[in-house]
């Protein structure tokens, strides 16, 4: 059985910077209120004039990752695309990436696991490579949240958190079983699905004809809902559990972690985990301050930035961990 390793990373974020002060002009909020609760100072939101979409941003991140991997685009055997904000209801953005990159008719899989989407995608790619089915797998996480947010005071508890962006990784076959992805761990708890959700549009709610007829501006089911305190309490527990699960699987200790890349949901969650595990600032990478929560894109963007800043080097133990809507959560343990 083969092992898999990450051989190329890339990310793309829109040029348009939206600060907390900018948001205060749209809704009743302020910079201090947002930073105190989330740690976020600014985020990126797409602008129509640029043509940025979930799939086009994914393509831009993928092109960088493929170039850094030192392979040709046609060496890609399979595409995994994680997002909660696809360009279309269907088809998913995986095929859009295949078309845009001009890759041969390889398989394309779309993942709807929201904040855990990239971790799930890495796990799937890892299994395909381990079994020998594929040699090079492209995994993308990309989101456009800004077009679906309630940018009024009613929606401020959610809308101040989210940003747009994309990240990508190329996974390739590794012959050395002590290098690359050592293990992945995935979980879900569907009983809490509606605590962090977007109920509509969905075929389980109403007929499309009714939606078009009523056009009710007060129907908040079309806006993201989050029970913030409940999500926070569950997140800190599941983050801790799934990180420890990965370490124990590989007979490792918390002290062995060289770099923890948590999903950038809330800086307070990351700081809680850092303090619980007694990790120093050099062992945890956070960039939510600059990008907000980019959901499926947050880990690949952070991982790429950490690597670009030489905070990750060969031989390091890198742990990825995510928790989000579903609830779903997971971790990845990597020997870089």
Would you name the residues annotated as active-site residues? 115, 263, 293
End-to-end CA distance of the chain: 19
3-state secondary structure the chain: CCEEEEEEEEEECCCCEEEHHHHHCCCCCCHHHHHHHHCCCEEECCCHHHCCCHHHHHHHHHHHHHHHHCCCHHHCCEEEEECCCCCCCCCCHHHHHHHHHCCCCCEEEEECCHHHHHHHHHHHHHHHHHCCCCCEEEEEEEECCHHHCCCCHHHHHHHCCECCEEEEEEEEEECCCCCEEEEEEEEECHHHHHHEECCCCCCCCCCHHHHHHHCCCCCHHHCCEECHHHHHHHHHHHHHHHHHHHHHHCCCCHHHCCEEEECCCCHHHHHHHHHHHCCCHHHECCCHHHHCECHHHHHHHHHHHHHHCCCCCCCCEEEEEEEECCCEEEEEEEEC
CB 319 within 8 A of CB 261: yes
CB 316 within 8 A of CB 258: yes
């Amino acid at each position: 059985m083969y092992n898999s390793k990450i051989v190329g990373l890339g990310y793309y974020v829109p040029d348009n910077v939206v600060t907390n002060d900018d948001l205060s002009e749209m809704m009743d909020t302020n910079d201090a209120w947002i930073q105190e609760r989330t740690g976020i100072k600014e985020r990126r939101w797409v602008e129509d004039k640029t043509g940025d979409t979930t799939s086009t941003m994914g393509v831009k991140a993928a092109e960088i990752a493929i170039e850094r991997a030192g392979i040709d685009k046609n060496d890609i055997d399979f595409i995994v695309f994680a997002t909660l904000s696809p360009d279309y209801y269907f088809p998913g953005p995986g095929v859009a990436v295949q078309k845009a990159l001009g890759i041969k008719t390889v398989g394309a899989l779309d993942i709807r696991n929201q904040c855990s989407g990239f971790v799930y995608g890495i796990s799937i790619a890892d299994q395909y490579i381990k079994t020998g089915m594929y040699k090079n797998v492209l995994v993308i996480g990309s989101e456009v949240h800004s077009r679906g947010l309630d940018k009024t005071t009613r929606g401020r508890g959610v809308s101040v958190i989210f940003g747009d962006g994309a990240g990508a990784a190329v996974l390739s076959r590794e012959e050395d079983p002590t290098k690359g992805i050592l293990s992945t761990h995935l979980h879900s708890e569907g009983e809490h699905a509606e605590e962090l959700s977007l109920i509509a549009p969905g075929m389980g709610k109403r007929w499309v004809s009714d939606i078009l007829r009523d056009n009710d501006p007060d129907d908040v089911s079309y806006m993201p809902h989050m029970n913030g305190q409940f999500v926070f309490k569950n997140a800190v527990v599941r983050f801790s559990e799934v990180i420890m699960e990965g370490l124990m699987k590989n007979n490792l200790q918390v002290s062995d972690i060289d770099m923890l890349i948590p999903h950038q949901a809330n800086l307070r969650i990351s700081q809680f985990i850092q303090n619980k595990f007694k990790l120093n600032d050099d062992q945890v990478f956070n960039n939510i301050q600059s990008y907000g929560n980019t959901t499926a894109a947050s880990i690949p963007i952070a991982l790429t930035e950490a690597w670009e800043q030489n905070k990750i080097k060969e031989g390091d133990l890198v742990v990825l961990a995510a928790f989000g809507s579903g609830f779903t959560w997971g971790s990845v343990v990597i020997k870089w």
